[in-house]
Structure 1
Amino acid sequence: MGLSHYNIFDKGNRYAQVLAQDTPRKLALLVGINYPNNNNLNSLNGCVNDVDLQQELLIHRFQFKKSDILRLTTKESLQQQPTRNHILTAFEEHLIKQAKPGDVVVFHFSGHGYRLLDPHPIQNCDNQQFNDDYNSTFVPVDDTLNGSPQDIMGRSLFLLISALKTNNVTVVLDSCFSGGGTRGNYQVRSAIRNNINTLEPSQTEIAYQESWMKRLKISDSEFTRRRCNGVAKGVILAAAQRDEEALDAPFDGFYAGAFTYAMTQYLWQETDSVRNAIAYISPTVKSTGGHSPFADGNQNQPVYFIDNKLLSTDAVITKVKGNQANLWLGGLNNKSLATFNKDATFSIVDATGKTRGKLKLESRDGLKAKAKLVDSKENIISLKPGMLLQESSRVIPADLHLSVGLDSSLGNEISIAETELSQIYRIKPVPALKDNISYPAEVQLILSRMTEEYLQILKQQKVENIPAVGSIGLFTQGLQIVPQSFAEKQESIKTAVCRLEPKLKSFLATRLVEMTLNKNSSKLDVEVSMNLVEQPNQPFAKISTLKSIYPQTKLPLNKSFQFQIKNNSSHSLYVMMLLIDSTGSLTVIHPYPWTNFNRGMLLASNDTLIIGEPNKPKLQAVKKGLAQALIITSRSSLDKAVHALKRIESELKTQKTNQNKCFVDQTRGAEVIEDLINDLSGERSGKNAKTREIKTSNIATVSFSFEVG
């Protein structure tokens, strides 16, 4: 394959640029395939957006030149469609021919994965994961030819990476070969194929591999030796383990790979080693759909082999017209994204973190927004693309709610479920689309019956204590069981909704608190660490509003643990803390029940609060699963928020001890939720307030997501 078959590059200009440069060059090939109008494969929604996420990050965070990034997506021109030929030729011409020793190379693939028989299977590696008769593949947009798969095998990728002249190589793979189809409200990035008549690779693929083996002068035995040693060069970042599913997920106004969004959002905020980055984003990705990202190769190097010590960034200006600007919001946490709409504000910051102006949002579409300059300080003459932004304030929308998908398994009772759920304050029922393919937008939970199909899926995932077929309960939108949400299979839908009301309020309250998460933008200087009581000076997780993060490790079962919260601010702060277990139930662990709330919540400047001291009620994890700690610190009193959360906690406990009864307060949650919103925003406005502003100068909310086991 030569340039005559690939009319993307101006080769004269490209090679002239290489010769003119003394500093390391940064090259990227980004592939995103949504498979539109393909009758053979499930279409995806977020793979092209993954390329956008990666490109904006590389340009504005890692200083890649746009001209050195090549996109092959199903939204590009015909010459840049992600066909098999285009992908391989682009790798050769854009990466192999141009990269010199010391340069930086990034290859990203988002799309379907698959598995084909390996003509030369590896069988004798000490590491058993490499011994397999099959080889993972990437499915191009032209997925078949005359019934033969046109896939690019992992073996081919290994050879292409081996041909690069630099060792600074990062391969990002947001695909999988396990599962397929839909998982609740997600699409699995694994191909289900009924249009191929063989599991053997094409003769074209075999010939391509043989060609590279000759060019690299690698024998079969030498290839096996190298493959048994691990990656060819650099590091590979993958969305899921071998037997797990990579998910195409809906967020607030857009779709993306759960892994790619979590990774790129983290890298806007932190520049860290590969090992620490994977450790930090793993709980986030796992809570989304149960899969665990992993890295293979040189994990002690900084991500993309670029050691940038940069300020945390929430957004960047991409286009300017006068005082109007288009923004990319790639650094915002997906849990708080809904609070960044009209009237939210961002500060323009320079390299030292000093504010040079302020922008106010006028509208938002997914991660793209329009804003106007409302405050210009010295040294800001005009807006410019590339200016970095940090959050100044966010706005809790008036129509904020918890979306609950209604699974088609509810059958004729869907309308009853819709009516019953609508009576609970800020709970929004969302019926499934036709054939239960998915929901029209992001949902936080799915109300469903346990079906035989779901039972088999859960068995394949080795889930324990699966509820009986026919029983009603809650799933996450990734079709993970919400523990303790299912009851007897004879239960009516009306009784089930009533029984689940306290749990739904708990999820709603947690969603509200999570919308205030602002570790990277809060102006309050707060530091929180987590440790075992028996090891008070050895934190296994640490988070700060102004500093880097320690990666988390698993919390052992039946071991007492504690939190230490230090107020480094120049003024006292009110502190509230809650734990969310794997069932979605919340527990307020500070202030303690007997404390005078206001006095007991106040943490003086430079003081440290220890929650879980030996002489106080013990904090112990007694069940395996994912858990979360939420710590809220505020310059304003949080007494109403505490009372609101404790009322929800009390309802949960009452319901748990009276499984067959339902307890409904007269306001259906309106009073407690409004009290919570008002305290979090520092306002005392009534229920009719349209929106509530949250300023980074008034509140800091941080979160630990951790695994117990």
Structure 2
Amino acid sequence: MGFNRRTFLQKAGFGIAALGASETLLSLLFDGSLAIPILDRYGQALAQPTQRKLALLVGINQYPQMTALGGCVTDVEMQRELLIHRFGFNDRDILTLTDSQATRRAIETGFMEHLVNQAKAGDVVVFHFSGYGSRVKRNPTSDPNNLEKWQNSFVPVDGIVPTNGVPANDLLAETLALLLLSIASSRVATILDTSHIDRVNILQGNLRVRSTSYPPAEATNSEELAFQEQLLAQISPGKPANLNIMPGLVFAAAGLSQLAMEAKWNGFTAGLFTYALTQYLWQAIPGTTVQITMSRTAQSINQLIGINQQPKLIGEKDLDSLFTDYILSNSNIGADGVITSVDSSGTTAQLWLGGLPATVLQYYGTNSLLELVNENTSQGVGVRDELKNNEQPTTNNQQLQIRTKVGLTATAEVIASNTISNYPLQVGQLVQEVVRIIPRNVTVTIALDAKLERIERVDATSAFASIHDVSSVVVAGEQSADYLFGKRRKEGSIEDILPNSSPGYGLFYIGGEPIRNTAGESGEAVKSAVSRLVPKLKTLLASKLLRLTANEGCSRLAIRADLEMIFPQEKTIAVRETRRGFLSRQPIDLASNSPELLSDVKMGKLPSLPIGSRIQFRLENYSERPIYFMLLGFQTGANAIAFYPHPPVSPLPRADNNLPVQDGAIAPGETMTIPDPAATFDWALAGLPGLWELQLICSPFPFNQAMAKLQEGIISTVKGERIDNLFNSLDVVQGILQDLHQGSGVSSDRIGTISDSYALDVKAWATLSFIYQVV
């Protein structure tokens, strides 16, 4: 770089971020001859504000000596948009290093100059890394009491393939711990979307893995070790620092023995963890805890890929106290996106839609409506504005209609509203969903395992082409897919856990985890296997369609649901409520209302229930209208179950005669237990271990078509209000979507002709998702 590193770090302790750190600091990182003159000229002229928010975001896709990744730069974009538009970071206080910029020296120098030398006590500091992780043999003198032979490392763009004893050029985990210890503020959050598993295949199912495929390095370079010594001398002269625990709060994409993976969606690729985390934070509200955030992030990941990747919270910071320090300082309501640019006419805007779930965003249709977030949104939108008698919804906010969408961005135009906004569109204005357009012809996309022989792939492609519910078959790793078709193998698969399971063809989650009860016998022909899987594919498509209705963060119905274990012990398992349906009150306080729940979500894991447990739901209607519900579940092995209000509910009538309670509805202010305590059966968890997914769909309008389809499906096990092994789950789900579409009553005058789509108003329904493990 042309200058002494120690001198640079000592002289560079000035506040250059106020100039625009992303540009100024980059010039220092890549042109050493300019470093000292620039700092001398401007460094002392700029006063530092108190309680700043500083961030360093690193994302590397293009590794010259390794297989390229696809989503790490997108991760940086997602994190940056979140920090600026949702949580009040100044764009000048965010330094991004991507691809060729992200050398080891640039990352460490950027960390020192942008974070360590600028942060003061009370400032908020965020560091994010997306890229390859690896391991390096521990320096025997760095910690003589530590028996671990290896330490984790983060591979920069100039990382070296560890062959023939060549020292690694990685950023060591110990170095990162020292850098974090060097920050004056205790309000530090680190996000690591990487993993450190040796010798893995980069392609895992239909996903890419963020661990290098090479063996760990036997040594690191001397410059990295010298930099560690400098940091250690400044932090704790004369006494060793604990480098085994990173200070502050650390969000890790996966556990120690798990892989962090990235996925392709339509138009973009991103880390599973970063997308799930940032998407949830877009919609989060004050009072949300970091534990719940990580638990919900894990749910989003596991819903897509199974339990092969579960996020983890690490670090020494108290987990309950730092969350509001990291993000929620001045925002009372969530958002689904933000305006990033406005054209010269002031009527067309570019939107960033990072607040929508990835599964929804893939199918988010043209003509969908969003509205600007302002004071009227938090005060004038809520349960009193729910749809009544199919009347058209009203709003005091300017509305935007989606015209085109590519990946995470969309172009939208202002449409006429009942009350015209008094101010023009502006960059940085938040938007919330109003009407969601979903195509009716959604199908399942299947990826073919790369390990299949060519003739197997040919036969599978031909067999899937004849199935109406499968739209396309793709080669694993090349395009977005919902599930994987392949053959179970002994090596590193679930066969190690279930030695008696079949080695035949079957379905897998996109991360490669088998879907149980889908594998056939050894020797089965490919076309026979595909034909056998048709009923399972219909159930999986039904599950996919229901996920497209997920709207806990944006629904305006005031609904809360608790999932409870009643045997072998009484315990709250999960709590869900519509965040924008309760704008007049504080969100759930788990510490006081459900203290037993905190232990289960403490490390961001999914709830686990033993086989044989008995469970129930407690559904509360806080709205001012009767609410209908349906509860559909998808068990391990792609089997469907259903609960519905039968016999009809008969709560006490309300004094307000304008709000009659109809059969099968939950009255305003009432609570329902599912199954009914008076029922002659218990809901016991039976069958094989694995993931269960339950979707609770609520609406002020009856589910007439769905109930009709449900009655047609009662040819299997029926126990009161429960149907086991629902064979026509796809018909039932399509009936639900049609009921929600009709209940929304969105006219073509507002959104245009959409005969091939469902138009769902956020005031007309709420879908709450529950994911848990049966063990």
Shorter-chain TM-score range: 0.7 to 0.9
Which residue, out of 467, 473, 487, partners 2:506? 473
Of 683, 687, 700, 1:635 maps to 700
2:80 aligned with 1:55, yes or no? yes
- Return closer, same or farther for 1:279/1:664 CA change in 2, 3 Å cut-off: closer
- How far off its partner does 1:259 sit? 0.7
Change (3 A) 1:83 1:419: same
Distance in 2 separating the partners of 1:505 and 1:19: 63
Alignment partner of 1:448 out of 483, 486, 498: 486
Q: Residue in 2 aligned with 1:33? A: 60
AA aligned to 1:293 is P
Structure 2 partner of 1:141: 157
Q: 1:291 aligned to 2:291?
A: no
How far residue 537 of structure 1 moved from its aligned partner, in angstroms, is 8.7
Equivalent residue, structure 2, for 1:193: 214
Report the Cα distance in structure 2 between the residues aligned to 1:109 and 1:566, rounded to whole angstroms. 41
Partner of 2:373: 349
Q: Distance in 2 between matches of 1:645 and 1:481?
A: 29
Give % identity.
28
Describe the SS at the equivalent of 1:171.
strand
Judged with a 3 Å threshold, the aligned counterparts in structure 2 of structure 1 residues 603 and 255 are, in CA distance, closer, same or farther, namely same
1:360 — aligned with what? 401
Q: Please tell me whether residue 267 in structure 1 is matched to residue 275 in structure 2.
A: no
Question: Counterpart of 2:608 in 1: which secondary structure?
Answer: coil
Cα distance in 2, alignment partners of residues 422 and 209 from structure 1: 58
Out of 739, 759, 765, the residue aligned to residue 679 of structure 1 is 739
Number of the residue aligned with 2:672: 609
* 1:60-75 alignment runs, 5 A limit: 60-74=85-99
Closer, same or farther: CA 650–106 of 1 in aligned 2, 3 Å = farther
TM-score computed with the length of structure 2 as normaliser: 0.79
Q: Are 1:137 and 1:154, in contact at CA under 8 Å, matched by a contact in 2?
A: yes
The question of whether the paired residues in 1 share the 8 Å contact of 2:546 and 2:733 is answered with: no
5 Å-filtered alignment, 1:39-438, equals 40-74=65-99, 81-120=101-140, 131-144=147-160, 147-178=166-197, 179-193=200-214, 198-219=217-238, 222-223=240-241, 226-227=242-243, 230-231=245-246, 233-271=247-285, 272-289=288-305, 290-296=308-314, 297-298=316-317, 299-303=319-323, 304-308=325-329, 309-321=331-343, 322-351=346-375, 353=378, 354=380, 355-375=396-416, 377-408=419-450, 409=452, 411-432=454-475, 436=476, 438=477
Following TM superposition, by how much is the alpha carbon of 1:260 offset from its aligned partner in structure 2, in angstroms?
Answer: 0.7
| AA matched with 2:482 | Q
Q: 1:267/1:116 Cα in 2 relative to 1: closer, same or farther (>3 Å)?
A: same
Deviation for aligned residue 1:456: 0.8
**2:506 is the alignment partner of 1:457:** no
Task: Measure the CA separation in 2 of the matches of 1:131 and 1:108.
Answer: 29
Alpha-carbon shift at residue 209 of structure 1 (Å): 1.3
Contact 1:503 1:652 survives alignment (8 Å): no
Q: CA deviation at 1:573?
A: 2.3
Deviations 1:430-488 (A, max 9, x none): 131xxx5x132x2111111224xxx21216x954346444x111001110100100121
**Per the alignment, in what secondary structure is the counterpart of residue 403 of structure 1?**
strand
Q: Does 1:626 align with 2:691?
A: yes
Deviations 1:513-536 (A, max 9, x none): 111111121122111111123699
Contact 2:443 2:469 (C-alpha < 8 Å) held by counterparts: yes
Give a deviation string over 1:2-25, Cα, whole Å, max 9, x none.
Answer: 26654598647874686242x301
Aligned to 2:389: none
Q: How big is the shift at 1:604?
A: 2.5
Q: Does the 8 A contact of 1:585 with 1:652 survive in 2? A: no
Cα 1:466–1:538 change in 2 (3 A) is closer
Q: How far did 1:556 drift?
A: 4.0
Deviation at 1:599, TM superposition (A): 6.7
User: TM-score scaled to structure 1, two decimals?
Assistant: 0.86
Q: CA deviation at 1:108?
A: 0.3
Q: Deviations over 1:256-279 (max 9, x none)?
A: 111111111111111433222212
Change (3 A) 1:650 1:17: farther
Instruction: Report the aligned-residue RMSD.
Output: 3.2
Amino acid at match of 2:57: L
8 Å CA contact 1:41–1:193 kept in 2: the answer is: no
Distance 1:584 1:69 in 2: 44
Residue-by-residue CA offset, 1:617-665 (whole Å, 9 max, x unaligned): 3112234322121011123332322444676786999xxxxxxxxx999
CA contact (8 A) 1:99 1:164 kept: yes
Distance in 1 between residues matched to 2:463 and 2:273, nearest whole Å: 35
Given residue 429 of structure 1, which amino acid in structure 2 is its aligned partner? S
Provide the C-alpha distance between the structure 2 equivalents of 1:334 and 1:59, rounded to a whole number of angstroms: 21
- Give CA deviations for 1:75-115 in whole Å, capped at 9, x if unaligned: xxx6xx10111111101111111111111111100000000
Distance of aligned partners of 1:429 and 1:533 in 2 relative to their CA distance in 1, 3 Å threshold: same
Q: Which residue of 2 aligns with 1:657?
A: none
Question: Which deviates further from its counterpart, 257-266 or 309-318?
Answer: 309-318
Structure-2 separation of matches of 1:416 and 1:180: 25
Deviation string, structure 1 residues 366-419 (Cα, Å, up to 9, x no partner): 111110111353553200011111110111124411111223416324344334
| Partner Cα separation in structure 2 for residue 576 and residue 17 of structure 1 | 63
**Offset of 1:605 from its aligned partner?**
2.3
Q: Secondary structure at the match of 2:358?
A: coil
Secondary structure of 1:204 counterpart: helix
Separation in 2, partners of 1:252, 1:310: 32
Deviation at 1:246, TM superposition (A): 0.4
Count of paired positions? 665
| Separation of aligned partners in 2, 1:61 and 1:158 | 28
Offset of residue 181 of structure 1: 1.1
Give 1:439's match in structure 2, choosing from 470, 478, 487.
478
Report the Cα offset of residue 362 of structure 1. Answer: 0.5
Is the 1:567–1:573 Cα contact (8 Å) retained in structure 2?
yes
Measure, in 2, the Cα distance between the counterparts of 1:557 and 1:122. 47
Provide the rounded CA distance (Å) in 1 between the counterparts of 2:156 and 2:195.
14
The corresponding residue for 2:387 is none
Q: Taking structure 1 as reference, are residues 652 and 205 closer, same or farther at Cα in structure 2, changes over 3 Å only?
A: farther
CA distance in 2, matches of 1:213, 1:495: 64
The runs of 5 or more residues in structure 2 that have no matched partner are 13-27, 381-395, 591-596, 602-606, 651-660, 719-725, 747-753
Q: Who is 1:561 aligned against? A: 615
Question: How far apart, in 2, do the equivalents of 1:488 and 1:599 lie?
Answer: 51
Runs of at least 5 residues in structure 1 that lack an aligned partner in the other structure: 654-662
Are the counterparts in 2 of residues 262 and 281 from structure 1 also a CA contact under 8 Å? yes
Whichever residue aligns with residue 329 of structure 1, its letter is L
Mean alpha-carbon deviation: is it higher for 63-72 or for 391-400?
Answer: 391-400
Quote the Cα distance in structure 2 between the aligned partners of 1:586 and 1:647: 15
CA distance in 2, matches of 1:496, 1:238: 38
State the alpha-carbon separation in 2 of the partners of residues 381 and 116 from structure 1.
56
Matched, 1:501 2:534: yes
User: How do residues 505-654 of structure 1 correspond to structure 2 at under 5 angstroms?
Assistant: 505-533=538-566, 539-545=572-578, 546-547=581-582, 548=587, 553-592=607-646, 601-616=664-679, 617-622=681-686, 623-644=688-709
User: Residue 335 of structure 1 aligns to which amino acid in structure 2?
Assistant: T
- Counterpart CA distance in 2 for 1:91 and 1:583 is 47
